[in-house]
Structure 1
Amino acid sequence: MPNFAGFITIDPKRSIGSIVAHVTMEEVATDELHITEHPVELGANITDHAFKKPADLVIRCGWSNASLGGVLSGVKGLVSALTGGDAFGSDYVSGIYNQLLALQESRIPFDVSTGKRLYTNMLMRSLSQTTDEKSEYTLMVTAVFKQVLIVQTQATTLPSKENQAQPQATGETSDTGTKQVATAYPAPGGWQPPNG
């Protein structure tokens, strides 16, 4: 009897969170840079006028009840049906579909690994599947993902004006509204004293 303990297993690269597809037909990734359309001052730092948008990813992938996992799941579903359990949705592909729906509904960022790159902090924007007479025992989905840009901010408190040597130069800023210069025009008939 052969000993399989010495075999090295290599985990598949492609995954949606912890869910690994049996087959991936297409991966379409979009990385976009938003660039200002306004004129930029000569000599200005161009990086102040452009920013990277979150990554978009579309994956078409599938699973089958004919796989080893599907066969084992089918046996469990058959036993459940024979013992009075509910057979609806107990097959392998229905279980995978429910996992994908739960991942989408959780709204917790996860990683998506493709053949080219690892995408972090992704959410599933949409999940679509079609079942027809040829695909009853398979699950073919198109999943659309969007990256969430996660940042870390900090708040600070400035010392009060009384504790500053030059509060006019180093004090907290305050919003005093927009100021505009108004042109003064003399009243018709000339100037009149305020009390007369």
Structure 2
Amino acid sequence: MADSPLLDLDAPEIKDLVYTKTNIGGWFFDAYLKMEHTSRLTITDHPVQTGAAVSDHAFLQPRELSMDVAMSNVQESFVPGQFSGGYSRSVQAFNVLRELQQLRVPIQVHTRLGLYPNMLIEVLSAPDDYTTLDGLHCTVTFREIIVAQVTTVKISARPLVTDHSNRGVVEPADLNQSALKQLGGFAKRYLGGK
């Protein structure tokens, strides 16, 4: 494969285009026929107490994006050199998408409606019939990878639990005494009564 699917997004020929034109990881396809942006909020079924923070009872699922892309064998590449070196531009474009999927490295997808920084290609679907002999029509389905920040916290090297503890003097208790008799014993001990 002549082109590497990992592009230098800071290269002069694509630096200005990456944030202004729809692209998949810096790869610019001839046409984007349809896009479906899906953002889903899962709401728990547990009752919510009045005054509770509702945000604790709902969470966002990873975003999904489906794009129908098209490539032609007769058109020049938007960025010189992209999708070259293969049998045809359309076959090379499909190979790039397949390799991006196989690498399993999160990529950035830019669309008119927003920027998706951590996307993986979940599904590639490309019909191949008489209508696509000189081109490619492919549906690419992306799913967002949720990234969490990890914080390192220093803890003491001293053990939090000891292997023994001072329990004081243990005396057996007579469980068959009535409450009145127990109260009388209490009065004798602490109040000096008889």
Same fold (TM over 0.5): yes
Q: Which amino acid is the alignment partner of residue 147 of structure 1?
A: E
Deviation at 1:135, TM superposition (A): 1.4
Gaps in structure 2 of 5+ consecutive residues: 1-15, 162-194
What is the 5 A alignment of 1:113-124?
113-124=110-121
What is the 5 A alignment of 1:179-194?
none
What is the 5 A alignment of 1:42-121?
42-69=50-77, 90-121=87-118
Q: Which moved more, 1:147-156 or 1:93-102?
A: 147-156
**C-alpha separation in 1, matches of 2:157 and 2:106:** 41
Q: Deviations over 1:10-57 (max 9, x none)?
A: 736110112111111100001111111110122111111111111000
Counterpart in the other structure of 2:21 = 13
Pairwise CA RMSD:
2.6
Counterpart selection for 1:36 from 41, 44, 47? 44
Q: Deviations over 1:117-154 (max 9, x none)?
A: 11110000000101111210101000000000100122
Deviation at 1:155, TM superposition (A): 3.9
Deviation at 1:100, TM superposition (A): 0.6
Deviation at 1:160, TM superposition (A): 5.6
Counterpart selection for 1:24 from 32, 50, 55? 32
Counterpart in the other structure of 1:129 = 126
Kindly tell me the number of residue pairs found equivalent between the two proteins: 142
Q: State the TM-score, normalized to the length of structure 2.
A: 0.66
Deviation at 1:66, TM superposition (A): 1.2
Deviation at 1:161, TM superposition (A): 6.1
Counterpart in the other structure of 1:168 = none
Q: Deviations over 1:41-82 (max 9, x none)?
A: 221111111111110000001000010249x99xx87xxxxx
SS in structure 1 of the partner of residue 131 of structure 2:
coil
**C-alpha separation in 2, matches of 1:47 and 1:69:** 46
Distance 1:42 1:133, change over 3 A: same
> Identity of paired residues, percent?
30
Q: Which amino acid is the alignment partner of residue 111 of structure 2?
A: T
Decide which structure has the larger Cα Rg and report it.
2
Q: Which amino acid is the alignment partner of residue 118 of structure 1?
A: L
Counterpart selection for 2:142 from 123, 142, 145? 145
Q: State the TM-score, normalized to the length of structure 1.
A: 0.65
**C-alpha separation in 1, matches of 2:157 and 2:77:** 66
Q: Does the aligned pair in 1 maintain the 2:29–2:69 contact within 8 Å?
A: yes
